[in-house]
Amino acid sequence: MKTLLLLMVLLCAALPVRASAVEAVPEDLNQDIVQLEAENKVEMASSPVEAENKVEMAPSPDDMTVDGGEMAAQLEGRSFLCPYGWVRFRNVCYQYVTSGRSWTSAEAYCSRLGASLLSVHNVWDYSYFQELTRRSGHTAVWTGGYYFQGWRWLDQSQFDYNNWSTVNAVSQYQCIKLNSRVAWSNINCASVLPFICVRRSDTC
């Protein structure tokens, strides 16, 4: 019991001494503590967890400005519509002309439309043109193929696909016709046939 009383007296004597020691903390130390706490808050705000949860708002359309070049790049590759009377296939516009003309006259007609007689570069395109020709009720159409020191296409694309049914003497038969049932052949350019005009996507 005496021990307990002695402890209580010691505690009561120590409390005022501790309180005065706390009050005696220098002012600049208090400022250091406040500054440390502020720095601590900044560090916590930029912690990885908080950064992960941070949501960034996308700029509104009003905030975005696009110059002409960027707009053209964005529009490039988008789908387009062919003019009235033209058919779209693989991002190219085609017009099937049923009235017969010579090869030269057919090319002049297409050229006035900003187009050219068709060129063929693979079996899928050829099959498509054959189907167009069959549906129109014809057996052949002009292509843009012609002979001048070798076979060429009027649109200056590479003559990289061959699909010959018959090859006649190039001295007299210098223009290529596409046949609806078989492969193509060369005939006299003065012959009269329907034809297909082609406009590429950059001219549609």
Does 36 score more than 60 pLDDT?
Answer: no
Does 144 score more than 50 pLDDT?
Answer: yes
The answer to whether residues 77 and 162 touch, using CB atoms and an 8 Å cutoff, is: no
Most confident of 8-12, 22-26, 65-69, 76-80: 8-12
Residue 90 pLDDT level (bands cut at 50, 70, 90)? confident
Q: Amino acid identity of 160?
A: D
Count other C-beta atoms under 10 Å from residue 102's C-beta: 17
Measured distance CA(30)–CA(80) in Å, rounded: 72
Does 93 score more than 80 pLDDT?
Answer: yes
Q: In CATH terms, is domain 87-200 a member of 3.90.1150.10?
A: no
Domain ranges of the chain: 87-200
Could you report the per-residue pLDDT of 38-79, keeping only the tens digit for each? Answer: 554 444 444 444 443 333 333 333 333 334 333 333 334 445
Task: Indicate the range of 65-69, 107-111, 160-164 predicted with least confidence.
Answer: 65-69
To the nearest whole percent, how much of the chain has pLDDT over 70? 59
pLDDT for the residue 17: 46
Measured distance CA(155)–CA(26) in Å, rounded: 91
Measured distance CA(196)–CA(180) in Å, rounded: 13
Q: Amino acid identity of 101?
A: R
Per-residue pLDDT averaged across 15-34, rounded?
48
- Cα–Cα distances (Å) from 36 to 6, 39, 40, 48, in that order, read 41, 5, 6, 20
Matching residue, tokens 């549906």: 135
